[in-house]
Amino acid sequence: MSLKIFIAGAGGAIGLPLISYARQKGYQLFAATRNENRKKKIESLGAEAILLDVLDEKAVHQNLEAIRPDVIIDVLTSLPQEYTPSAMQEYGPKDAEVRTKGGGHLLKSAIQLGVKRYLLQSAAFWYEQGEGLAIEETPFAFKATPGIAAGTKLLFVNETRLKMSPILSTILRYGFFYGPKTWFEKDASLGRQAREGKLPLVDHGNGIWNFVHIEDAAKATIDALDAKEGTYNINDSNPIEFSKWLNAFCKKVDAPPPITLSQKEYRKNRGDDFLYYATSLRGASNEKAIKELKFNPRPLEWL
């Protein structure tokens, strides 16, 4: 009998690819989204679509009790269509609520109903600064700029409560998603901003970014069901400096070369968190995922 999998957050960027890869394995799928417009697409991929507000604890429990899944894949987010400082600040509280409160409802019901395994989305790009590539045991950047520090604490809380639960847990720390339905497409948010000259470089823009194609991230997630529990960095094998990827990205989307701002100008224009992204992010090692999950990510497509 095939595994019965419940995907929470199936309307997000990684949700549809997750369904596709899980179907290839023959799993029985139930995909929850709060977006009615995604329902038909989910069903066309072979999953049973469920309209669900994860902030409604009673509804969460009723749905899980009716389905009795073997596995929950929690990829809950609430992110804007436009990747800008103002949009990220606006959506931050809702994203935190959905992940922490909504995810808490899922985990509570999962424990009560005897769910065997729980997979959780996390991030591979908020490690504390240091030499070389960060590994899964490296602490998060709790002392970063305020917005990033708050994000790292949210990840830490959500990861820790899952690890402390009786359920077999797998934490997927993804790099920045690119590919279909992400901000990095030519006609999506960052492609448009690049052509409008709204994505500047910054002096000493040496922050190291970890990217992963959305399809590779989805495949690794489903492959993790056949591996031992644990935490995995899911990003490609060549973390890259901010200045290098942005110059290459602008060429790919037919944008003019980006202008360069001083750090003072950049902070005024983009804010402290985005300056941190440009100058201070740390690369992450994916060796564990390569070894344990047979992870084979493609190189960044616009280089």
pLDDT digits (tens, 9 = 90+) for 157-205: 999 999 999 999 999 999 999 999 999 999 999 999 999 999 999 999 9
Looking at the whole model, is its pTM more than 0.95?
A: yes
Alpha helices in 224-286 (DSSP H): 242-252, 263-270, 272-280
Q: What is the pLDDT of residues 76-133, one digit of tens each?
A: 999 999 999 999 999 999 999 999 999 999 999 999 999 999 999 999 999 999 999 9
CB atoms within 10 A of CB 39: 16
Comparing 282 with 303, which gets the higher pLDDT?
282
- Model confidence at 206: pLDDT above 70: yes
Q: What is the pLDDT of residues 66-87, one digit of tens each?
A: 999 999 999 999 999 999 999 9
Q: Which amino acid is at 155?
A: L
Mean pLDDT of 208-236: 98
Q: Which of 122, 212, 126 is nearest to 163 (CA)?
A: 122
- Provide the pLDDT for residue 1: 59
Q: What is the pLDDT of residues 287-296, one digit of tens each?
A: 999 999 999 9
- Provide the pLDDT for residue 303: 84
Mean pLDDT of 213-235: 98
Dist. CA 211–CA 180, nearest whole Å: 14
Ordered structural domains, the chain, with CATH:
4-182+210-238+284-293 (3.40.50.720)
- Provide the pLDDT for residue 253: 98
DSSP β-ladder status, 208-209 and 240-241: antiparallel
